Amino acid sequence: SSQPIDLRLPTPGCYADPIKAGIDADAVFDGMTEHLFFTLGKLATSASLRDLYMALSYAVRDRLMTRYLASQEAIRAKPHKTVAYFSAEFLIGPQLNNNLLNLGIQEEAEEAVKRFGIESLNDILEVEEEPGLGNGGLGRLAACYMESLASLQVPAIGYGIRYEFGIFNQIIRDGWQIEVTDKWLKGGWPWELPQPDESCFVGFGGRTENYIDDQGNYRSRWIPSEHAIGVPHDIPILGYRVNNCDRLRLWRADATESFDFYAFNIGDYYGAVEEKVASETISKVLYPNDGTDEGRRLRLKQQHFFVSCSLQDMIRSLETRNIPVEQFSENWTVQLNDTHPAIAVAELMRLLIDNHHFEWDQAWDITNRSVAYTNHTLLPEALEKWDLNLFKSLLPRHLELIYEINKRFLQQVRLRYPGNDLILRKLSIIDEEGSKAVRMAHLATIGAHNVNGVAALHSDLIKRQLMPEFADLWPEKFTNVTNGVTPRRWVALSNPELASLLDQEIGSNWITNMDLLTQLEEKENDSNFLDVFGATKLLGKRKLAGYIHRQTGILVDPSTLFDVQVKRIHQYKRQHLNALQIIAQYLRIKNGTAHSIAPRTVIFGGKAAPGYLMAKLMIRFINGIAEVVNADPDMDGKLRVVFLPDYNVKLGEQVYSATDLSEQISTAGKEASGTGNMKFAMNGALTIGTLDGANVEIRDRVGKENFFLFGKTESEIMKLRKNGYDPKQYIEKSPELSEAIRLIELGHFSNGDNELFRPLLNSLTGYDPFFVMADFDDYLLAQDRVSKAWQNHKEWNRMALLNTARSGFFSSDRSIREYCSSIWKVNPLEVEITCNIN
Ligand code: F58
């Protein structure tokens, strides 16, 4: 634990200890009034909902500052190893309610806003814009991990990019996805603190040169042709009911100078502002890719930009604390969230060798001890590679260092596999097959002391399929940390009904110790309790039904089975398998053969990468089906299909708590882990799923009798592929599948247009890269088991309860504990604060 810190608080009251001092309803109300007046220039009498949102946010932010500063002060006072989580994405979601929860003042805030004549705090929470600084699972994982780090009292900084435009907003027009720019900063975002005094310079392009320094040493240096400035914007990340408040430090790119004076003097005004415009473009926009399109130059610039700023910041923080840079790895542990920040391996070497004049071996030792790498995908098209010429033109010095790293590494490989040129080519950082490229996963794997996958199956496949030779070379380097999600956001905030039921039954400690949920197992045969448990779910479903009606105009019945698939739209995630299944059910109802099918509301949500045409067509396909099904009176009370536009964190909070059936139906071996699957299970949804990613572990834990399993296993899929897979054979064997496909071909779901879905059909019936046809019949059978189980509500609720009860393992607190003890070797540092007022 740290020394108690006396901060000489300049603000009224000690906000830290006891936990609610200075933050009762009166204080929140007063804080809001002050901010309305002084910060926003508004009178309470004319304040809009947005004004009140801003005022409350500022008042709450004020109440984070003691903890925020004390947490930084604790490390300044006494060195302590700190986690630096490097991620190009942090999908943190709305901040206000999370901070209220973690401070423990939701009720106080509710009371304060009522004094402004607002009916419910929810009306104010509704107003918050979420920063969409991520694509999906990877970005959201980083956000859950930051929250868990703070809650576990681990000193940490999340380093990333402050994109001016986050992931696009999705609207649906005529069934198609339309992308709209995400202007999350318009109107100001109250949770960030710009720190321009801590800005950093970053170079790009130019050349390298060798020189002899004053002491006669041969050295290399980089002379960039272009620069940008990184301005840190800090977001406080408060832990749950603790004083520890970590930080997310996101870099915004600014121009080095507003003018090129030479260009200016010769009268080229527009040329002079060009560099300014170019450097400010770096943090302009998040790339909405799914790994399907080729890397762009700007993307590599973004990666180097935030990595360089962050490493410089970390070294500077050692220097200001008089800690020698030699002790970098005792004071920092760097986690690379995928390969997007993998350039850190070369950049840290460059800073240590070129700027701090370390010898190679010592620099390498420091780098290797500090850096660890998390892999999130096995899909070959998603493994980052940079064209060598592009890389060289942008980062010439880094390329020299990478060549040297590679040379030394390949020497090791030669010793291990004498005369095996094939292995050398396979393992080299430089890909020489076709046009030359830098393989970022190899750079990360060689530079890191640990490489982990994100679920047991995935980590196993990394060793067996993705990098067998690396795993052979360094068996201890390859580990697993199964993903997790934070129960604060994904239960307490998003499912308040369930949270208060849990509080009542097992006490409120589950929120920081999810293993306690197993106590619920005692209730599995308690009929009254099962009814209450089911009733909390119904509340969530009613709210979602209202939202669906407001957003789409579709009326859905909350008593039907809510069957949900929300995630990025991707062929490997197989939303089209789900869609085909709906067509089969539709046909059964039409043909009068739907005997015991459960009345269902099938809900989809998710964005497609703008350049991923097949994924966009899948959205159109789902909407085509929805249009036909929802308009057909025969389907009334039996089947509804909804595509929820603009799926994001905020919408996710409404969806997980309202779901009965969680669709986790990716082709086995393709989904690294999944994290939505965990959120659903925690909230008492049953899963229909394949043996893929973390589904395997979810099923092991909740019990196979409480999980609807179907589909080919990863090894069966491999065998099929090897033996020449022909989807047509599966179609011929399955009358329901053939009939569904025939209906699509006839244009039944496209107003008679039999060309619209042609590319989708060709893919499915031609080569079917994700084995949709191979798994269809088994999926349909599993759906029949779902329907049957739904008939017995008591039994369904029992299974749902067991899912919640046994999902504690999937708390991100557990994941973070594993990272801390086995990879980072960091301990918590409890922040204590003394009150000099009160
Ligand atoms: C996801 N990856 C995995 N990538 O697909 C998922 O199985 C896993 O649960 C999750 O990471 C967390 O480990 C993912 O979300 C991206 O979004 C990339 C962003 C940058 C472009 C390429 C895709």
Domain limits for position 299:
79-94+130-448
Q: How far is the CA of 403 from the centre of ligand 1 (A)?
A: 29
In a domain, 838, yes or no: no
Residue 34 pLDDT exceeds 70? yes
In the predicted structure, residue 338 carries a pLDDT above the cut 70 = yes
In this structure, are 572 and 681 located in the same domain?
Answer: yes
pLDDT tens-place string over residues 232-253: 999 999 999 999 999 999 999 9
The CA-atom distances, in angstroms, between 737 and each of 597, 598, 732, 744 are 17, 20, 8, 11
**Collapsing DSSP states into helix, strand and coil, what is residue 564?**
strand
My answer on whether 206 and 318 are in the same domain is yes
The Cα–Cα gap between 128 and 114 comes to 18
The span from the CA of 826 to the CA of 83, in Å, is 8
Same domain for 66 and 85? no
Which atom of ligand 1 approaches the CA of 483 most closely?
13
837 lies in a domain?
no
Does the C-beta of 567 come closer than 6 Å to ligand 1? Answer: no
For the stretch 172-212, pLDDT in tens is 999 999 999 999 999 999 999 999 999 999 999 999 999 99
pLDDT in tens, 645-698: 999 999 999 999 999 999 999 999 999 999 999 999 999 999 999 999 999 999
Mean predicted confidence (pLDDT) in 697-720: 98
Band of pLDDT at residue 1, cut at 50, 70 and 90: low
> Is the predicted pLDDT of residue 170 greater than 50, yes or no?
yes
For ligand 1, is residue 290 a contact (CB within 6 Å)?
A: yes
In a domain, residue 301? The reply is yes
Number of domains into which the chain is organized: 3
Burial category of 490 from C-beta neighbours within 10 Å (exposed 0-12, middle 13-18, buried 19 and up):
buried
**What are the C-alpha distances in Å from 451 to residues 335, 398, 448?**
10, 22, 7
Sorted by sequence, the CB contacts under 8 Å of residue 767 that are 6+ apart come out as 727
Q: Mean of the per-residue pLDDT values for the chain?
A: 95
For residues 31 and 177, state if they share a domain.
no
Q: What is the mean pLDDT of residues 305-324?
A: 98
Separation of CA 145 and ligand 1 centre (Å)? 15
pLDDT digits (tens, 9 = 90+) for 640-660: 999 999 999 999 999 999 999
On whether both 223 and 293 belong to a single domain, the answer is yes
**Spatial contact of 561 and 598, defined as CB atoms under 8 Å apart:** yes
Q: Are 709 and 783 in contact (CB under 8 A)?
A: no
Q: How far apart are CA 262 and CA 275, in angstroms?
A: 12
Tell me the C-alpha distance between 78 and 74, whole Å.
6
Check if 671 has its Cβ closer than 6 Å to any atom of ligand 1.
yes
Q: Is residue 479 part of a domain?
A: no
Together in a domain, 112 and 164: no
Do 158 and 45 share a structural domain? no
Domain identity same for 314 and 412: yes
* Nearest residue (CA) to ligand 1, atom 2: 138
Do 697 and 581 share a structural domain? yes
What integer pLDDT is reported at residue 241 of this predicted model?
Answer: 94
* Closest ligand 1 atom to 694 CA: 9
- Domain contains 380: yes
pLDDT at residue 290 is higher than 80: no
Q: What is the pTM of this model?
A: 0.97
Task: Kindly state whether residues 103 and 158 are assigned to the same domain.
Answer: no
What are the pLDDT digits (tens) for 420-478? Answer: 999 999 999 999 999 999 999 999 999 999 999 999 999 999 999 999 999 999 999 99
Which of 287, 292, 298, 377 has most ligand 1 atoms within 8 Å of its beta carbon, as the pocket-test mutant? 377
DSSP count for the chain of H helices, then E strands: 33, 23
Alpha helix segments (H runs only) across 643-771? 649-656, 676-682, 695-702, 714-722, 727-733, 735-745, 758-766
DSSP string, 417-447: STT-HHHHHHH-SEE-SSS-EEEHHHHHHHH
Examine residue 109 and state whether it is found in any structural domain, yes or no. Answer: yes
Read off the pLDDT band of 617 (50, 70, 90): very high
CB of 480 closer than 6 angstroms to any ligand 1 atom: no
Q: Which residues are the active-site residues?
A: 376, 567-568, 573, 675, 679
User: Residue 559 has what DSSP assignment?
Assistant: T
- CA 274 and chain centroid, separation: 34
DSSP label at residue 321? T
478 domain residue, yes or no: no
Answer whether 693 contacts ligand 1 (Cβ < 6 A).
yes
What does the pLDDT look like over 501-531, one tens digit per residue? 999 999 999 999 999 999 999 999 999 999 9
Per-residue pLDDT band for 6 (boundaries 50, 70, 90) equals low
Residue 630 within any structural domain of the chain: yes
| CA–CA dist 574, 778 (Å, integer) | 14
Q: Ligand 1, atom 16: nearest CA belongs to which residue?
A: 138
* Distance of alpha carbon 303 from alpha carbon 282, whole angstroms: 9
837 or 800: which leads in pLDDT: 800
pLDDT at 269: 73
CA of 748 to the centre of ligand 1 (A): 35
Q: What CATH number is given to the structural domain containing 680?
A: 3.40.50.2000
Q: Are residues 548 and 401 in the same domain?
A: no
The confidence band for 834, taking pLDDT boundaries of 50, 70 and 90, is confident
How far out from the chain centre does Cα 318 lie? 30
- Average pLDDT value for residue range 221-228: 96
Closest-CA residue to 702 (of 520, 573, 512): 520
Residues 325 and 344 in one domain: yes
CB atoms within 10 A of CB 463: 19
ipTM above 0.85, yes or no: yes
